[in-house]
Amino acid sequence: MDEYLSNRPLPLRIAVLDSDSGFLTVLVKRLERLECKHRVLDSSIPTGRIASMRLDALIVDFASLGPERWTWLERLCQSPRGFSIVICTGPSTVVERVRALRVGADGWLSKPCHPEELIARVETVVGRRRWPEPLSFEPITVGEMEVRRDLYQAFVRERSLCLTRREYQLVDLLARAGGEVIPRKIIYERLWGFEMPRNDRSVDVFVHKLRRKLECASPQWRYVHTHFGIGYRLAAEPIEIEQAPRELEPVAALTDTPLAA
């Protein structure tokens, strides 16, 4: 199996606006291998048409847009959109990169670059858009559990689960996804703040710790569900009493420090 294919989020819908035929050939082959739905756009396409597409991300080479690229980008960013914009172009200045981000682009990558690096950048910005930082402090109830963002804690029948900071961040992120599967990569980036090292198991460790506490406090419900090769979701599903988990053997103490890759 290709070393890059593990722990991928769900296939994305990506459009590419680029006139570099060599780069496009390699990038498209990579997208096809990852089973991403993709299309190559012409620079003459109206921004309104792009905004109406059901995209997760748009990759743009500024060199393809000519002298009107800034006007084009500003018009696109001002239109209602549910997708991320990543600029992937040739040499640039700090002023240009900062301007693009302030206009509304989600990321900038300079060529030459490996298509895998570009795709990883796209996955990151799409993940942030799909699971933005919640603004509401309203409690969320899942089964017998209540997640209280104002108290940075979760409760079962008004009893605190005594979660660590990292455990609370995990359950809060999962709870506010509304039952959607969140890829491990995105969980790691939201909890630790940087890209997940290859083969890192920190997310799995903290899911295990959270599961143990939930099973002990609410044994008649199953909360955290694994989607192998993708990530985790939170949804309360009742289980029969005889299926309630047996008492688990103690495990070695684990810290909030990410494990070595």
For the chain, the average pLDDT equals 81
Phi then psi dihedrals of residue 232, to 5 deg: -135, 155
Task: Give the confidence band of 186 by pLDDT, cuts at 50, 70, 90.
Answer: confident
User: Mean pLDDT, to the nearest integer, of 130-152?
Assistant: 80
Confidence (pTM):
0.53
3-state secondary structure of 259: coil
**Residue range(s) occupied by CATH 1.10.10.10 in the chain:** 140-243
User: Mean pLDDT, to the nearest integer, of 223-243?
Assistant: 85
Integer Cα distance of 68 and 65 in angstroms: 6
Architecture of the structural domain at 140-243: Orthogonal Bundle (1.10)
- Contact between 33 and 10 under an 8 Å Cβ cutoff? The reply is no
Query: Token pair of 47, please?
Result: 């921004």
Task: Give the confidence band of 245 by pLDDT, cuts at 50, 70, 90.
Answer: low
What is the tens place of the pLDDT at every residue in 71-87? 888 888 877 777 889 99
- Domain spanning 13-130: CATH superfamily: Response regulator (3.40.50.2300)
**Residue range(s) occupied by CATH 3.40.50.2300 in the chain:** 13-130
* Closest by CA position to 113, among listed 222, 23, 191, 244: 23
What is the tens place of the pLDDT at every residue in 94-107? 888 888 888 888 88
- Contact between 17 and 105 under an 8 Å Cβ cutoff? The reply is no
Residues making up the chain, counted from first to last: 261
Interacting residues of 110 by C-beta distance below 8 A, sequence separation 6+: 88, 89, 90, 91, 92
Integer Cα distance of 89 and 92 in angstroms: 8
